[in-house]
Amino acid sequence: MTIWIDNDYKCYTAPGEGLREFDVPFFNNKCEEFIEGYRYVPEGEEWTRKDGMTFTGEMITPWVDYRELMVYQAQYLEEQLADADGALEVLYGDKN
Amino acid sequence: MAEGIKTRRGGSKPTQPFALIQQPYPAGSTCTCSKGDIVLTAPDTSGLALFVIPEAGTWTITSTDGTDSKAQTVEVSTQGETIVAPALVYELVLYDAGDECTSVTGGWTLYAWGVSTAEKQSDCIYLFNNDGQEASATSKKSIAMSDYSTLNVKLKDGWKTNSGCFEFSAGSATKTTSSVGAKTYTLDISAVSSGKVKFRPYGHWSDNANELSECGVYISRVWLN
């Protein structure tokens, strides 16, 4: 999955000014809200938290409460399943 | 909520309250808030203190129970503000030199496939992976992490060849490092509420490079703070 990060290593799902592009398989099949609640620190780089603690990359960690992100991701997967069911009905017809 | 008692060394005259700091800390501990010669002390060990701050500046809040201690600084700049400081918590040990901390972790499940190795040694967990085969150690229980911000992993030794690397995770957060050796690794878990902790060295055979990558780690201590 291609993502973009800003100077604070926060993730985005679309390119923008000052953003850098990376391919991160961890985000495959994840929804936009889920991805944009994450921070990605590439290998060889460092991020310093507000309390002064420094973390080296590669690190993939949420900056939004993960429980909120899971709600978005669950909704996304439900929609994907509903779309898949719809497609199957078109292909094979209603069993009833 | 217990209000802090102010003591000032040197006998200077009292000042008007400038701001308030509300500070959660481990119940049973003593908690102080200080700046220079001003020391405010929570009057009890209830676990929640309200410090009446007399002046702006950087204040250091410390909690201790005689064995563990934790400190943090709080910046006070606006008159009349009430600051709710992040809770002070001591470290939560998940593994320590052979102690699997089962009350918290439920113990550690080790898995090895093929020529990989996963061993519980007397003072560490040893994991070795080559040729892409799995070697891992995972906490049996999901661990509550809301009160902590950092996962710390201490290796008493470790190595890798070629593109081997060491990966570990705490719930939804993950870290991968190709710099493997005797040191302590950290992972930010500020937004992780709970999850299992897992360690997995990674190695593989590359047909393109015609080379074997391996990774071995001796995990001696794991803790949250």
Kindly provide the ipTM of the predicted complex, given to two decimals.
Answer: 0.78
Environment class of residue A29 by beta-carbon count within 10 Å: exposed (0-12), middle (13-18) or buried (19+)?
Answer: exposed
Task: Tell me the residue length of chain A.
Answer: 96
| Ranges of H-type helices in chain B | 102-105
Sheet holding B19-24, edge to edge: B2-3, B48-53, B19-24, B82-84
* A19: contact with B, CB 8 A cutoff: no
B13-66 pLDDT per residue, tens? 555 789 999 999 999 999 999 999 999 999 999 999 999 999 999 999 999 998
CA distance B17 to B6: 11
Residue type, B82: T
Nearest to B188 among A26, A55, A69 (CB): A55
Nearest to B175 among A58, A62, A64 (CB): A58
Contact A44, B178 (CB under 8 A): no
- Chain A residues within 8 A of B192 when measuring between CB atoms: 61-62, 66
A47-84 pLDDT per residue, tens? 999 878 899 999 999 999 988 999 999 999 999 888 88
Q: Is the pLDDT of residue B6 over 60?
A: no
- Chain A residues within 8 A of B189 when measuring between CB atoms: 61
* A59: contact with B, CB 8 A cutoff: yes
